Structure 1
Amino acid sequence: MSYTADLSLIVLAAGQGTRMNSDVPKVLHKVGAAPLLHHALWAGRSIEPGKIVVVTGYGAAQVGKAALAFDPDILLVEQTERKGTAHAVACAADLLVDEKGQALVLYGDTPFVSGDTLLAMRTAAKEFDIVVLGFEAPDPGRYGRLIVDGNQLQEIVEYKDASPAQREISLCNSGVIYANKVLLFDLIAQVGCDNEAGEYYLTDIVALANKAGKSASYVICDAFETQGINTRSELSMAEAAFQSRARAEALENGVTLTAPETVYFALDTVIGRDTVIGPNVIFGPNVTIESEAEVKGFCHLEGCHISRGAQVGPFARLRPGAELAEDVHIGNFVEVKNAILDQGVKVGHLTYLGDAHIGEFTNIGAGTITCNYDGVNKHKTTIGARVFIGSNTMLVAPVRVGNDAMTGSGSVITKDVEDAALALGRAVQVNKPGLAVRLMQLYQAAKAARLKG
């Protein structure tokens, strides 16, 4: 991705979200397995800003950590007092004091603003000093109203301060602003708090700009894009809306979903065309699936990469660091974590592979476990190419099994196995003739005495 050096993105993420009834900062509640904040950053990144500033407040440390997890180059600033949106944007001024060009202001609790909408705002900003994102609301409620004359935006009036006539206007303010950066901070410095709430409204810069002879306009988007999340009910509706759109997009991109309404995507899920996704598949963050793969029903995937032609499931779990090469087969009740499986590896069922590298065309028998954790540290298991691991093999890491080797079923492998060797690590079987019957009679007699007694 190339970046536009003269564009800065400011994301406001200081609110607590009291209506969420939660100790978690509002912007960290999740939709599509990602914090609301990440959705705003994802949208903003689509127009390639040179710098990104996140304005934190309530839960600043948590919010900052989440922002840096999205992009370690993000700049953070804390709004220690919540005095309104203009004051929040002003907090970013010192971080952008030497920056020219444009600034885009987004909100960390508004996850659905699209990249196309932001591109339209950027285009409009070539002709106007300030561009505001608006939407037509069938029920405007308590949104601020856009007062316009043709394509000229004259002012934004907050609902609390609007006249009865202005409250009849259906063109509403989303809060998203694209503006000349120097002008933005100059105007914010002039904003007062003479309003019912006693706050510094970012929306006041429009009237101030017009008064100073600057130009302001607006772009209209679908009302859905401006939906802010303030309650648990709205969060659940946002999740449903996100999943509906993600499923439709996957189908449009050539992915087969056999039961679309049961598949749950994450914000950053990537799936290639002609891949088949079965019912009740759950995607966590950071999953990429190449073309012509198949994920069967009831699988949970997170932080993994699945290559072309691979098959996963049903009832499989891929955890972060799982890398499946082409034509790998993962069967039912298999868990893979931080492990690389080379081309053609088969893991049929009932297996755990963690902290491992499995060579090409190796077959892992049912019940195999890489014993990777000693209670303190993790250790790696390396299995070569064309190996046959017998059922119920315990591989006690760190350990290496060479190319073309084999382990006997039920073995506990604690030492390296050289290439082409057969490893047996189990107790010798001993048969005691007649002892089974005598033991059963003894057990039954003991039980009868206990019941009698």
Structure 2
Amino acid sequence: MTIDIVILAAGQGTRMHSALPKVLHCLAGEPLLQRVVNTASSVPDSKIIIVTGRASEEVKASISGEQIHYAQQDEQLGTAHAVQAAVSVSGPSDITLVLYGDVPLISKETVLAVIDTVDNDTMALLTVTLEDPEGYGRILRDKQGDVCGIIEQKDAPPEALKIQEVNTGVLALKTSHLREWLPQIDNKNTQGEYYLTDLVAIAKRSGIHVVTKMPRFPQEVAGVNTRIQLSKLERFYQQQQAEKLMMSGVTLADPNRIDIRGSLSSGNDNFIDINVVFEGVVKLGNNVSIGPNCLITDSMIGDSVQVKANSVIEKSEIYSNAVIGPFARLRPGTVVCKNAKIGNFVEVKNTQVGIGSKISHLSYVGDAELGADVNVGAGTITCNYDGANKHKTIMADNSFIGSNSSLVAPLKIGKNATIGAGSIIIKDVPDDQLTLARAPQKNVPYWVRPTKKK
């Protein structure tokens, strides 16, 4: 069975008051449309057709996935008109499913339930019951309880407005039926648009039974038309992620103050303080402690690691029992081995910090390789960039770098070597030696400090 999944994404999104197309606004760090595409891509034997309008090239450039095709809706004449644009570029298929680019949280399970309902005698419609159905099309049922039509709110009489079961817009039917019925839809309504919802009445007249399904949560089918609606969906999504974490053995200081903008896998007995943001793919081991106000992106954090407050970790690997922060910044390519420490106001980039090594405070170490038990004093910097190229600094096992030292790469500091504080090192340092590189100190006797003239 082959399936065409049509995703409508041509709307202007004027209520967002944005130059960015509405479907490219992000929920949990990912465009709304991309989330729908991800769900659609999980359906076997499917082809995705995205209907675009405004800023179609920008939309195409922003969305990734396989088996994606595009159709253009130049005029916004309604949902049926948009689906007609998709049908005109689609090939043969058994079933057509219609989704929406601004309804980002619909689940794979719900989509498959809708598809599985369809056969030669059945059309599937996703509905939801709302306490406040304002703005939605109402589901009309006959005396037997069967769906017989959908009426849009602007066309509905007062008695119909009391109905709480509403249309989500998501439907699936045989592609042959869709191709036959679309030309029968007219625009004789208050909006002067071609409503896809008219398919329900046409199916009823054609002897096709309309079966309804409901999502697990109403938020699955909530659309985004304003930034307020987007923020509510964001909070719902983050609450769901927080609950999954806690159920898996993670303690959250406040479940309302964590953001997961990607995927986070976690071991047991981890603690995450307030205002921690995870981006991309992050993996936590066991017994990890993360302090408040941290940002962690595309990184792996091993067992019993402490990440202290206000630290930023990006595309890095941190192994067991390491300590990071507070106020540390780990830039891409950083590897912190077990029992190592990156302290407060330390920036590290593209560097391996060996077992038990320490960069405790106020330092920049880039493009470097630290062996085991290296101690880097406060104020140390690796001068790794010559204005055109990056160069490497190697600090061998048990070397000691005195405070306020500048290490001019390319450079190798030998095993057990010691660099005196305040040195500028421009040549390799042998093993087991003390190296000093300071200008001679000069004391000026009887010198009088200048004073301001009155």
Give the TM-score normalised by the residue count of structure 2: 0.83
Equivalent of 2:272, from 277, 280, 297? 277
2:369 to 377, 383, 386: 383
Q: Which residue of 2 aligns with 1:354?
A: 349
Say whether residues 1:393 and 2:380 are aligned partners.
Answer: yes
Matches for 1:103-142 after TM superposition, within 5 Å: 103-125=96-118, 129-142=122-135
Instruction: Name the TM-score, length of structure 1 as normaliser.
Output: 0.84
The letter of the residue matching 1:218 is T
SS of residue paired to 1:22? coil
Q: Give the drift of 1:303.
A: 3.0
Aligned to 1:27: 23
Query: What SS is found at the alignment partner of 1:339?
Result: coil
Secondary structure of 1:243's aligned partner: helix
Q: CA deviation at 1:331?
A: 1.7
- Cα 1:197–1:293 change in 2 (3 A) is same
Report SS of the residue matched to 1:239. Answer: helix
- For 2:415 and 2:121, the matched residues in 1 are separated by 73
Task: After TM superposition, give the deviation of residue 255 of structure 1 in Å.
Answer: 1.4
Equivalent positions of 1:300-379 (< 5 A) are 300-319=295-314, 321-344=315-338, 345-371=340-366
The CA deviation at 1:423 is 7.2
Deviation at 1:134, TM superposition (A): 0.5
Residues 94 and 407 of structure 1, relative CA distance in 2, 3 Å threshold:
farther
Deviations 1:272-307 (A, max 9, x none): 443211122122344333443222111112233333
- Tell me how far 1:217 sits from its aligned partner: 1.1
* 1:176 has 2:170 as partner: yes
Task: Tell me which residue corresponds to 1:76.
Answer: 70
Local SS of the residue matching 1:206: helix
Matches of 2:352 and 2:179 in 1, distance apart? 54
Please give the alpha-carbon distance, in whole angstroms, between the structure 2 residues aligned to 1:135 and 1:306: 41
Looking at structure 1, the residues matched to 46 and 414 of structure 2 have their Cα atoms a distance apart, in angstroms, of: 53
Distance (whole Å) between structure 2 residues aligned to residue 387 and residue 50 of structure 1: 55
Deviations along 1:56-110, whole A, 9 cap, x unmatched? 2222233222222xx3653333322212112222332355313x23333221222
- In structure 2, give the amino acid aligned to 1:415: P
Aligned length: 427
Question: Which residue matches 1:193?
Answer: 187
The list of structure 1 runs, each at least 4 consecutive aligned residues, that deviate by more than 6 angstroms after superposition, is none
Structure ranking higher in helix proportion: 1
Could you tell me how far apart the structure 1 residues matched to 2:197 and 2:409 are?
A: 68
Deviation of 1:402 (Å): 5.6
Asked if the contact 1:304–1:322 (Cα under 8 Å) also holds between the matched residues in 2, the reply is yes
Letter in 2 for 1:106: L
Q: How far does the alpha carbon of each residue in 1:389-424 deviate from its partner, in whole angstroms, 9 at most, with x for none? A: 512332213214165263523232312316637374
Give, in angstroms, the shift of residue 218 of structure 1: 0.8
Aligned counterpart in structure 2 of residue 428 of structure 1, from 426, 438, 446: 438
Q: Which residue of 1 aligns with 2:397?
A: 404
Letter in 1 for 2:327: F
CA distance in 1, matches of 2:166, 2:184: 23
Unaligned runs of 5+ in 2: 385-389, 425-436
- Distance (whole Å) between structure 1 residues aligned to residue 39 and residue 49 of structure 2: 14
1:152-163 matches, within 5 Å, as 152-163=146-157
- Given that 1:417 and 1:423 are in contact with CA atoms closer than 8 Å, whether structure 2 keeps it comes out as no
Q: Work out whether residues 399 and 413 of structure 2, in 8 Å CA contact, stay in contact via their aligned partners in 1.
A: no
Aligned residue runs from structure 1 range 89-108, under 5 A: 89-98=83-92, 100-108=93-101
In 2: Cα distance, 1:163 partner to 1:388 partner = 78
Cα deviation, residue 144, structure 1: 1.0
SS at match of 1:41: helix
**Secondary structure of the residue that 1:96 maps to in structure 2?**
coil
Separation (CA, whole Å) in 1 of partners of 2:38 and 2:145: 29
1:317 to partner: Cα distance: 0.4
Shift of the 205–290 alpha-carbon distance from structure 1 to 2, 3 Å rule, reads farther
Look up the match of 2:433. Answer: none
Does the Cα contact within 8 Å between 2:354 and 2:374 map onto a contact in 1? no
Gaps of 5+ in 1: 372-380
Q: Which amino acid aligns with 2:91?
A: V
Q: Kindly indicate whether the alpha-carbon contact (under 8 Å) linking 1:318 and 1:336 is maintained by their aligned counterparts in 2.
A: yes
CA RMSD, Structure 1 to Structure 2 (Å): 2.9
Opposite residue 449 of structure 2, the aligned amino acid is L
Letter in 1 for 2:440: V
1:393 maps to amino acid: T
Distance 1:79 1:292 in 2: 53
- Distance in 2, matches of 1:145 and 1:407, equals 74
Using the alignment, how far apart are the partners of 2:76 and 2:265 within structure 1? 38
Against the structure 1 CA distance between its residues 10 and 318, is the aligned structure 2 distance closer, same or farther, given a 3 Å change threshold?
farther
Decide which moves more: 359-368 or 246-255.
Answer: 359-368
2:225 is the alignment partner of 1:218:
no
Identity %: 27
The separation in 2 between residues aligned to 1:115 and 1:353, in whole angstroms, is 41
Q: Which amino acid aligns with 1:97?
A: G
Aligned to 2:201: 207
1:362 Cα deviation (Å)?
Answer: 3.8
